[in-house]
Amino acid sequence: MPTFQYKALQGNGQIAEGVIDAGGRSEAFRVMEGRGLRPISLAEHKNGKNGKAASTGQATAAKVEKADKANGSSSGFQLNLGNSTKISARALENFTRLLSSLLAAGVPLSRALVILTKEASNPVAQAKWKEVHDHVVDGMSLADAMAKSPDTFPRVYVAMVEAGETGGFLDVVLAQIADFQAREKEMKSKVMTALLYPIILLALALGVLVFLLVFFIPKFQTIFTGFGAKLPLLTQIIVGTSEIMRSYGLIVLLVIVAGGFMLRTWFQSEVGKRTWEGLLLRAPVVGPLVSQFAMSRFCRMLGTLLGAGVPLINALNVARRSIGNQVLVDAVSNSIERVKEGKQLGPSLGDCRTLFAGSVLEMISVAEESGRLDQELVRIANVTEGDLDRQLKTAVAMAEPLMLFLIAGFIGTIFIGMVVPIFSLQDHIK
């Protein structure tokens, strides 16, 4: 009868190691579960040496499927936590990477959480890590403990941890999550940096327009009124806008704020969110960028999960949450159903042409046939991110002169509207 050496998590959070005689890996897992142990690794003795670690198989599949049903859809790693009472993206990434390193070094889970709690520089993070530790010591799995804090640990995060915890590669999955978080943060930082200058130009343009309409135009209006001159249509429009700004400026501001709040509330609803995401995908310049960013996230997440040993169907169910656009999520969900029917991944994703180009689908199909799908998906994500970075720089380079042109156009229109009547004042003076 084969002999298996195991490492498992006990109910008190301590790591237990031992040997089991069983007819196979499945039976060994059942024996461990009967003893109240959560498997971390299971290796078969062969010729006095340890064989390869047990495959995650159906145990991992069941756990990920359970997490997928329990958590529902999600927009992926939404880690922009600006509230001071929440854990920052940097703190969560550091926690994830350090926990992975400690577990890889053989430190028991409960002890690793204690170390991270003591080393936390932020009191909020310290309290959160201690809360997770207390749940684990009470017999709860790490994934279940994290699931109790959805504001800190996203649903995709919890699903990946649960898969790694069940399959015995928790340290590997945590390292993959940390890498994913770092790349997400880098990509979002590039987007925000690219948009910063156009936003400043837009704010400057609005400020100049308000100054001209509220303070500059009234002085000219007094001159025109004194001579009783009939103003051109353009000048009348500008003067009328100025009067509205000065007389009802506060009301206009309140209406804009109230309208913005109502619009924001509608966008947060299911119908509004889908409508907005559909409009984004159809936008001339923004649409392709949004699609590429979503594809990059999907490919990286799927490749990460497959590389960690998660079965394809369940990896797809988790990875689709990382897309962030519900319209695209629905399209990928339909493709997953075809994969469940036994079709290959590449052809199944063929209907998602908004998300996947024909060349990408061909690369996925070839990689699937050659057995290196996980590596190819990560490579596609890297190439797509590099291309996306170049496109963002090009878009910003185009946006800067466009914003300057709009500013010059608005100010020039006001200038012309105010100067043209001056040339006709000479007739009234005579």
Per-residue pLDDT in tens (0 to 9) along the chain, 430 residues: 778 887 776 766 567 788 888 877 667 777 877 787 766 666 776 544 444 333 333 344 444 444 444 444 333 443 333 344 678 888 888 888 888 888 888 888 888 898 888 888 788 888 889 999 988 888 888 988 998 888 888 877 887 787 777 667 788 778 878 877 787 777 777 777 777 777 887 788 788 878 877 777 777 767 666 666 677 788 788 878 888 878 887 888 899 899 889 988 887 787 887 788 788 788 887 788 888 888 887 888 788 778 777 788 878 887 777 676 777 777 788 888 888 888 888 888 887 777 788 888 889 889 888 888 888 998 998 898 888 878 877 877 777 788 778 878 877 887 787 777 776 666 555 5
- Eight-class DSSP state of 54: P
Q: Is residue 350 part of a domain?
A: yes
Whether residue 309 is found in the same domain as residue 417? yes
Q: Is residue 187 part of a domain?
A: yes
In this prediction, residue 119 carries a pLDDT of: 84
Whether residue 31 is found in the same domain as residue 76? no
Whether residue 329 is found in the same domain as residue 259? yes
Whether residue 248 is found in the same domain as residue 217? yes
Number of domains, the chain? 3
Q: Is residue 138 part of a domain?
A: yes
Q: Is residue 345 part of a domain?
A: yes
Q: Is the pTM of this model over 0.75?
A: no
Cβ neighbourhood burial of 313 (10 Å; 0-12, 13-18, 19+) = middle
Amino acid at 29: F
What is the DSSP secondary-structure string of 224-290?
Answer: HHHHTPPPPHHHHHHHHHHHHHHHHHHHHHHHHHHHHHHHHHHHHSHHHHHHHHHHHHHSTTHHHHH
- Where residue 263 sits, what CATH number does that domain have? 1.20.81.30
Whether residue 305 is found in the same domain as residue 388? yes
Q: Which conformational region is residue 292 in: left (phi greater than 0), alpha (psi within -120 to 50 degrees), or beta?
A: alpha
Q: Is residue 10 part of a domain?
A: yes
Domain end residue (candidates: 54, 79, 97): 54
In this prediction, residue 399 carries a pLDDT of: 74
Tokens of 17: 């190691």
In this prediction, residue 85 carries a pLDDT of: 61
- Could you count the other beta carbons within 10 Å of the beta carbon of residue 337? 10
Q: How far is CA 43 from CA 8, 40, 168, 193, in A?
A: 12, 10, 10, 48
Whether residue 239 is found in the same domain as residue 382? yes
Q: How far apart are CA 91 and CA 43, in angstroms?
A: 34
In this prediction, residue 360 carries a pLDDT of: 86
Whether residue 259 is found in the same domain as residue 401? yes
Contact 296, 76 (CB under 8 A): no
Counting Cα atoms < 13 Å in the Cβ hemisphere of 119 gives 11
Q: Is residue 59 part of a domain?
A: no
Tokens of 152: 């800190």
Q: Is residue 414 part of a domain?
A: yes
Whether residue 272 is found in the same domain as residue 403? yes
Q: Is residue 64 part of a domain?
A: no
Tokens of 22: 């069983």
Whether residue 109 is found in the same domain as residue 158? yes
Tell which residue, 200, 186, 201, 193, has the closest CA to residue 382: 186
Tell which residue, 65, 72, 78, 95, has the closest CA to residue 297: 78
SS3 209: helix
**Scanning the structure block, which residue is given the tokens 């897309």?**
323
Range(s) of the domain holding residue 168: 70-175
Q: How far apart are CA 259 and CA 91, in angstroms?
A: 36
Whether residue 237 is found in the same domain as residue 313? yes
Q: What is the helix (H) or strand (E) element at residue 8, kind and residue range?
A: strand 3-9
Whether residue 254 is found in the same domain as residue 332? yes
Whether residue 400 is found in the same domain as residue 311? yes
